[in-house]
A and B are shown apart, each in its own frame.
Chain A
């Protein structure tokens, strides 16, 4: 079974609990806080490497959760992932959780790639126009990538609005190639 499918199954189970208890948004934020810790390569390696036992991983997880305040539901969920040896899929689980919770809440998440972070007014303007286009509440996630040189790329609801300098250069190159 594909990792994303497995991750989505766990995410859906957690979302069901969160919806039932009315705290699915809070659970999403808690997952984000833990996910921020998982950006450390050493930590990801520890949870991937089979030479570390389940008890080792639980100890590390307990130590992490002492630093990050999470609800008992989130805590139990994380230990369940460790027990079932699925903690390696945690990043995918978080992505799936946000996707499912956004759908449940009737909102869309937009990945906005920029060479440098948008100013608050520009971000708000973008959010407004995207909400107008989609007819749903939009959450902006900014991703900084200097490779696009300038401009903005927005990915939302399976669509891409590419206004980057990189895209213009690629178009220029393609046009020159066609004429060549």
Chain B
């Protein structure tokens, strides 16, 4: 407040001093320069007298503000640095974690791959065994069916031949043999 009051007085003093050349302007030359120098000295004296302390205080306050601002800025800088370190740490940790996760998944992937390959091989082996068994069964069935067919044909051919060649004498002989067999069984 006091600084503002004193600063407000400076224009009035400058006005008084500036008017002096006009008052002494009538002689010109060297005296004018003297007056100007005197005026300047007076003005400077007034300025120094009235503005020195407020300016000093203002400068001091400004210096303090600047110092405080610098401190705050430093504190903010420190905070930011700490935060940066924290995030860098976290990022580093994340990288490490990501690497661990990646390694874990890679390991799991390898295991899964090995398991799938083993399963695939086992399944392929099972299918191969089953196919072999099916083929063997089919072959056996086909062979058996063929054998049955051959036997049927052979027996049918034998029957046909017997029918064609069986004479009444053969019938009598067969009957006689049958009766002899029964008689032997009855005697036994």
Contact residues of A between 143 and 172, Cβ < 8 Å to B: 149-152, 154, 161, 163, 165, 169, 172
The reply on A173 being an interface residue by CB < 8 A is yes
A118–chain B nearest beta-carbon distance, Å: 6
- Enumerate chain A residues within 8 angstroms of B152, measured Cβ to Cβ: 173
Contact residues of A between 98 and 132, Cβ < 8 Å to B: 114-116, 118-119, 122, 125-126, 129-130, 132
B161–chain A nearest beta-carbon distance, Å: 11
In the complex, the answer to whether B186 meets A126 with C-beta atoms within 8 Å is no
In the complex, the answer to whether B159 meets A149 with C-beta atoms within 8 Å is yes
In the complex, the answer to whether B162 meets A176 with C-beta atoms within 8 Å is no
- The answer for the CA separation of A84 and B181 in the assembled complex, in Å, is 49
- Enumerate chain A residues within 8 angstroms of B176, measured Cβ to Cβ: 122
- The answer for the CA separation of A165 and B155 in the assembled complex, in Å, is 12
In the complex, the answer to whether A180 meets B182 with C-beta atoms within 8 Å is no
- Enumerate chain A residues within 8 angstroms of B178, measured Cβ to Cβ: 151-152, 161, 163
B148–chain A nearest beta-carbon distance, Å: 7
The reply on A40 being an interface residue by CB < 8 A is no
CB closest chain-A residue, reference B184: A129
The reply on B179 being an interface residue by CB < 8 A is yes
In the complex, the answer to whether A163 meets B158 with C-beta atoms within 8 Å is no
- The answer for the CA separation of A126 and B186 in the assembled complex, in Å, is 11
In the complex, the answer to whether B155 meets A169 with C-beta atoms within 8 Å is yes
The reply on A1 being an interface residue by CB < 8 A is no
In the complex, the answer to whether A180 meets B144 with C-beta atoms within 8 Å is yes
- The answer for the CA separation of A176 and B148 in the assembled complex, in Å, is 9
Option from A119, A129, A163, A165 in Cβ contact (under 8 Å) with B162 = A165
In the complex, the answer to whether B175 meets A118 with C-beta atoms within 8 Å is yes
In the complex, the answer to whether A115 meets B171 with C-beta atoms within 8 Å is yes
Q: Using CB atoms and an 8 Å cutoff, list the residues of chain A in contact with chain B.
A: 114-116, 118-119, 122, 125-126, 129-130, 132-133, 149-152, 154, 161, 163, 165, 169, 172-173, 176-177, 180
The 3 A-B pairs of least Cβ separation, nearest first, read A163-B178, A180-B147, A176-B151
